[in-house]
Amino acid sequence: MEKMALNTYLLNEEEKATTDGSTFKPISPKNVYEVIRIQEGIPLFLKDHLERFRKSAEMLHISLSLSDSEIKHRILFLIQQNKAEFINLKLIWDDQQNLLIFFQNTVYPPQRYYQTGMHTTLLKLEREDPNIKVQRAAYQERVLAEREKQQAYEVLLVDQHDFITEGSRSNLFIVKNQELYTSPSANVLLGIVRKKVFAICQEEGIVIHEQNIPVADIATIEAAFITGTGNNVLPIRTINDQLLNSAENPLVKRIMEKFNACIQEDIRQFKTA
């Protein structure tokens, strides 16, 4: 069972102590979830997250009867009650119309990873229905075991055709000839940070290709990075034994800087709305 952080959580409109042992019992097995990063007490890119949350529910034919305004109100209430500043928050909505909101035990990447890059490993594994955020215990257990076995920060998934699709909890981008490549949208989770990187590329005139990434291409790439709610834009130093100098790559550094500016702008707009 996933552990909650801080003092209280919300089950529908009822605030409960995180020490309550019945936390997940009311939640039906048919459910969707969303994870939102809280920074400076602000839920980052909230509109984008709620849009994806609603789409996930629609794809599983689960009616999401609450408005975005009501969900936002509950999120902000819980943030205030717990004085949450820098942590991830999780939403779970089930087919019985229950909404569970709680803070996760969150460990963000150490700062040195943004300066030097981090280690990744490849794993032959495909995520079913990658566009839908549903909880899969067996998938998570296998990924966690592989990360620990290989002492890797992230596991990059390889499909039956030997294409690298995405990270276990992130999207993957590679750099070749100072252009970006990432897997087609239909094959991966449509990450919020991924969406922001696409917007940055459009604004900055950076060419980005959505196409399959063969494992064999690893030997020819210049750099790579992952994106995700818990990682932001994080450079890769190694894929298995392949060494990359991603953290010093000019294109990667440019995207990291632009994304950090995007975060600050989102916080500013939220506070002044």
Q: Say whether pLDDT at 164 is over 80.
A: yes
Q: What is the pLDDT of residues 22-40, one digit of tens each?
A: 667 789 999 999 999 999 9
Mean pLDDT of all residues belonging to the chain: 94
Give 188-247 pLDDT, tens digit per residue: 989 999 999 999 999 999 999 999 999 999 999 999 999 999 999 999 999 999 999 999
Give the pLDDT of residue 24: 74
Beta strands in 53-205 (DSSP E): 86-94, 99-104, 118-124, 154-158, 163-167, 171-176, 179-182
- Side-chain-facing half-sphere of 138: CA atoms under 13 Å: 4
Angstrom distance (rounded) from CA 27 to CA 31: 8
> Mapping DSSP to helix (H, G, I), strand (E, B) and coil, where does residue 259 land?
helix
- Residue 171 pLDDT more than 80? yes
CATH class of 4-104: alpha beta
Q: CB–CB of 71/99 below 8 Å?
A: yes
Residues 213, 40: Cα–Cα separation, whole Å: 36
Q: Which CATH number, 3.20.10.10, 3.40.190.80, 3.40.50.920, 1.10.1070.20, labels domain 111-265? A: 3.20.10.10
Write the secondary structure of 179-211 as one string of H (helix), E (strand) and C (coil): EEEECCHHHCCCCHHHHHHHHHHHHHCCCEEEC
Least confident of 17-26, 101-110, 115-124, 137-146: 17-26
Residue 135 has pLDDT above 80, yes or no: no
pLDDT value for 131 = 66
Q: Where do you find CATH 3.30.470.10 in the chain?
A: 4-104
Residue range(s) in the chain whose domain bears CATH number 3.20.10.10: 111-265
pLDDT tens digits, 56-115: 999 999 999 999 999 999 999 999 999 999 999 999 999 999 999 999 999 999 999 999
CA 258 to chain centre: 18
Task: State the pTM of this model.
Answer: 0.94
Q: Which helix (H) or strand (E) holds 237?
A: strand 232-239
- Model pLDDT, residue 83: 98
